[in-house]
Structure 1
Amino acid sequence: MSGAFVVRARRVVLPDGERAAAVHVRDGAVVAVTGFDEAGDQPVTLAEDEVLLPGLVDSHVHVNEPGRTEWEGFASATRAAAAGGITTIVDMPLNSVPPTVNVKALQVKRQAAQGQVSVDVAFWGGAVPGNASQLPRLLADGAVGVKCFLLDSGVPEFPPLDDAGLRTALTALAEVDGLLIAHCEDDDVIAAAPEPGGPRYADFLASRPEAAEETAIGRLVAAARDTGARVHVVHLADAGALPLLRAARAEGVRITVETCPHYLTFAAEDVPDGDTAFKCCPPIREAWHREALWAALADGDIDLVVSDHSPCTPELKRLDVGDFGLAWGGIAGLQVTLPVVWTGARARGRTLTDVVRWMSEAPAALTGLPTKGAIAVGRDADLVAFAPDEEWDVAALHHRNPVTPYAGRHLTGVVRRTWLRGQLLADGDPPRGRLLDRGDR
């Protein structure tokens, strides 16, 4: 369906809250939002048990193409996103080969994605030692920001920044008001911790202690304070870092923070020994961290929730031996992000308006994508028909590889239909996604 049409529902999540409404679409954009009964002739009317949401924006996805397409790839990742109500993803600069650390590599990434994407795709650049002069060029060429690691990334082609390199990168970015997002764990703290290895999850958790996150976040805060640059903490797992982040914001440091569905769902006490599908870095921590992260979302101390979808081949997860030291660290969960978060949110008294703020509005704002993130006049008509009360068990997913800790999990909330810029997405359709630049309108 394209051209001009109207979608109406008794429950529509809008920027000012939830109400009955009719959303008028023309040429892929929202042109009016009216009362439910002002829909005109032959509107698409959602079922009584469905809520109309804006398409989600997942600003933390490792697609891994080119170079490691067997881990995921643009075709499979974006099909999974569409099935999960995610209409825009932002691809991470590492785990692909080449990594996106200069304009040429960004062009290679775009060429790999062209014609394959079922949803819209934007791109992060990467900050590595020696490429600070490239960072403004990456932004000028459309990257939404740049990512760095403050410890070994796990792949040799994307080395970490030390404190001097971090400040050099931030100085270059501050001149163009660019955003740096950082994986915050500290190599020295981890080097002093026990070596990971074997099937016991408790041993893996001990190898990446809370202090590793807190020390690295402290380094990032200090560098941002001194340079005036904008920074963002990815995948916060350690609730003990929240006071540090609150204090930094209170003194004017321009810092935001995200967490992920796996940190909001699982707890270290419940991870089975040997089940390396749960391995990620930073690790899933104890239940008190999970509950404190939920409280921080409710209080506004955490800004957004994104998947950090980081899959690999089943062989690299080493389920054959169940060794947390040997397994690749990353959680696959792109397609189930919305129902996973909603299942946890409703159990804690949160609303779909909260979920939309965390998973659509805030990621769109972070990445500078002004036509995304809300059902509002002038925005893209990215829409999701969501049944928030329907229950189901996770089974086959569109991800290229099947290993996920969500397998078999009982969830609440089903994505029934997804529209991208006014076009209904269905299995078997040709790819309709676009490649986006920062600030695209």
Structure 2
Amino acid sequence: MEPGSMVSAVRSRRVLCGTEIGPALVVIREGKVHSILPGSSGSTGDDAGCEVLDVGDSLVMPGIVDCHVHVNEPGRSSWEGFWTATRAAAAGGVTTIVDMPLNSIPPTTTLDNLQDKMEAASGKCFVDTAFWGGVIPGNQLELKPMIQAGVAGFKCFLIHSGVEEFPHVTDKDLHTAMEQLQGTGSVLLFHAERDVPLLSEEDADPKDYSTFLNSRPDVMELEAIRTVTDLCLHYQVRCHIVHLSSAQPLELIQAARQAGAPLTVETTHHYLSLSAEHIPAGATQFKCCPPIRGAANQEKLWSALKDGHIDMVVSDHSPCTPDLKRLDTGDFTQAWGGISSLQFGLSLFWTSASKRGFTLPDVARFLCQSTARLCRLDNQKGSLVPGHDADLVIWDPEKEFELKEASIHHKHKLTPYMGLRLRGEVCATIVRGRLVYKRGSFSPLPLGKHLLLPQGKESLT
């Protein structure tokens, strides 16, 4: 069966349904999961009335929903674009991405800009794509029209975003935005760092990773999250902390949740896979904001994930052109902060998680179900159940591979994971019953759709 084909059924000796793994036949009709027939005997193609894609012992599970992806088109498609980003997603078993509102020009902060974004994405997406809107100073009257048009929710910064077109908000802006979002069911995402007074280190070497790390200490996240929890409790608007890097605010987050705050939190593959102690001098491909912290902090993040205090894991795929990484000078203070990992999130997560006692159902929970729930796509994405979209990743959790440049489908091949040996290789990806990726090959045409949620009700355009 070639990429681009419509798949009628998938059979495997390992199908993940809920928390159970066993032999089953997944029957697909009109792009939806029609039924899941357990057992290997008796579940033949003839019984199901369809041609079967038999994947043997490969694991079949829901396609990954990566709800934190910077595609950067329109305006900065030299950094990344929908064609390359969504091919990389498909190659990594990601069947849905949610595009962040900044780093594109214009940013997704008005209804008109949302239309520009969707036009730029049209005909270029190999996987299904939803869109976050943005909250910036003065755009509060654009929020409800964007909700009506179908954004998954909104993102704001409490510190300089890195690009001039997406300014950070003040406390006053936040109160205004929260008033607009009350009662809508929408969610506000926070880049949770705040500027705090720091002692300057005039003699610090800009090539030394510790120089950058010391410039973004844990207290910046702690103070920002203090603001978020207060707002969340006061307005009872759903709030979400993106890319938590520091374990220090976890206690604050838990207290707010216990007090009734509708608050969720994500961390990323790089915070769970990389540690400050192993970042070489001048290796600016490791720079991101908030920064990668130490190994002891990383283990606390893993513990929080296991205990349910962190809800999901995402890529925060944030590429740029190689020159902006300043590899020639190795200057961490001047390099763009962002890591490319959209294609390898499943393998990165499983490589580390499997060593810490996490199970395959945990993978689906953190990378599929919780992420779909955040952006209100959980009635069609993120779970392998009848009636949901037939979005599947077929992969080999035991297979190891070395990450090489030739296998990368992002626009730029710069990544801190180059040369790593990872566990868990994606064999094929199915989006709404269509085979979009199979062992290095893609469907001839992009088959993804835009996912819009007008007035909180999912629909496709």
State the TM-score bracket (shorter-chain normalisation).
Answer: over 0.9
SS of residue in 1 equivalent to 2:24:
strand
Q: Distance in 1 between matches of 2:20 and 2:229?
A: 34
Q: 1:433 to 1:187 in 2, by over 3 A?
A: same
Alignment of 1:348-387 (within 5 A): 348-369=356-377, 370-387=379-396
**CA–CA distance in 1 between the matches of 2:261 and 2:200?**
30
Aligned pair partner of 2:435 in 421, 424, 427: 424
* CA distance in 1: counterparts of 2:185 and 2:29, whole angstroms: 34
Deviations 1:319-371, CA, capped at 9 Å, x for gaps:
00000001000001110110000000101111111011000111111001121
Q: Alpha-carbon deviations, 1:219-245, whole Å to 9, x = none?
A: 111111111111000000001111111
Of 167, 184, 192 in structure 2, the residue corresponding to residue 176 of structure 1 is 184
One-letter amino acid matched to 1:184? A
Are 1:433 and 2:441 counterparts?
Answer: no
Contact 1:261 1:306 in 2 (8 A): yes
- Structure-1 residue corresponding to 2:404: 395
- Residue by residue over 1:170-219, the C-alpha shift from the partner in whole angstroms, topping out at 9 and shown as x without a partner, is 11111312200000001234x55657861000111000000000000001
| Cα deviation, residue 24, structure 1 | 0.6
For residues 108 and 82 of structure 1, the distance between their equivalents in structure 2, rounded to whole angstroms, comes to 24
In the TM superposition, what whole-angstrom CA distance separates every residue of 1:297-316 from its partner, at most 9, and x where no partner exists? 11110000000000000000
Q: Is the 8 A contact 1:193 1:206 kept in 2?
A: no
Choose 39-48 or 62-71, whichever is displaced more: 39-48
Equivalent position SS for 1:188:
coil
- The reply to whether residue 7 of structure 1 matches residue 15 of structure 2 is no
Match status 1:17 vs 2:35: no
Q: Counterparts in 2 of 1:59-138, with a 5 A limit? A: 59-138=67-146
Q: Please tell me the residue identity of whatever aligns with 1:399.
A: H
Aligned to 2:310: 302
Counterparts of 1:162 and 1:245 in 2: how far apart (Å)? 21
Task: Kindly indicate whether the alpha-carbon contact (under 8 Å) linking 2:452 and 2:458 is maintained by their aligned counterparts in 1.
Answer: yes
Distance 1:172 1:238, change over 3 A: same
In the aligned structure 1, how far is the partner of 2:181 from the partner of 2:296? 36
Equivalent residue, structure 1, for 2:235 = 227
Partner residue of 1:411 out of 414, 419, 422? 422
Structure 1: runs of 5 or more not aligned? none
Check the 8 A contact 1:316/1:327 in 2, yes or no. yes
Aligned AA for 1:395? Answer: K
Runs of 4+, deviation exceeding 4 Å: 1-4, 191-197
Q: Deviations over 1:235-260 (max 9, x none)?
A: 00001111111111000011000000
Please tell me whether residue 270 in structure 1 is matched to residue 278 in structure 2.
Answer: yes
Native 8 Å contact 1:197 1:325 kept in 2? no
Given residue 28 of structure 1, which amino acid in structure 2 is its aligned partner? Answer: G
Alignment of 1:147-158 (within 5 A): 147-158=155-166
Contact 2:159 2:194 in 1 (8 A): yes
Matches within 5 A, 1:208-357: 208-357=216-365
Preserved contact between residue 2 and residue 28 of structure 1 (Cα < 8 Å)? no
CA displacement, residues 35-84 of structure 1 (integer Å, 9 cap, x when unaligned): 13324335222222x10011100000000000100000000000000000
Task: Tell me: CA distance 1:249–1:39, structure 2 relative to 1, closer, same or farther (3 Å).
Answer: farther
Deviation of 1:168 after TM superposition, in Å, equals 1.2
Residue-by-residue CA offset, 1:10-30 (whole Å, 9 max, x unaligned): 111112432222111011100
Farther-moved stretch of structure 1 (17-26 vs 260-269): 17-26
For the pair 1:52 / 2:60, whether they are aligned, the reply is yes
Give percent identity, aligned residues only: 47
Residue correspondences, number: 439
2:45 pairs with 1:40: yes
What is the Cα-based RMSD across aligned positions, in Å? 1.4
What is the CA–CA distance in structure 1 between the aligned matches of 2:262 and 2:420, rounded to whole Å?
37
Distance 1:45 1:60 in 2: 32
1:15–1:374 contact (8 Å) kept in structure 2: yes
Matched-pair contact (CA < 8 Å) for 1:3–1:27 = no
2: CA distance, partners of 1:304 / 1:198 = 33
Secondary structure at the counterpart of residue 412 of structure 1: strand
CA distance in 2, matches of 1:188, 1:3: 54
Gaps of 5+ in 2: none
Q: Is the 8 A contact 1:342 1:413 kept in 2?
A: yes
Structure 1 pair 107/194, CA: closer, same or farther in 2 (3 Å)?
A: farther
Contact persistence 2:7–2:52 (CA under 8 A)? no
Equivalent residue for 1:207, pick from 215, 219, 230: 215
Deviates more, 1:196-205 or 1:250-259: 196-205
Q: 1:288 to 1:381 in 2, by over 3 A?
A: same
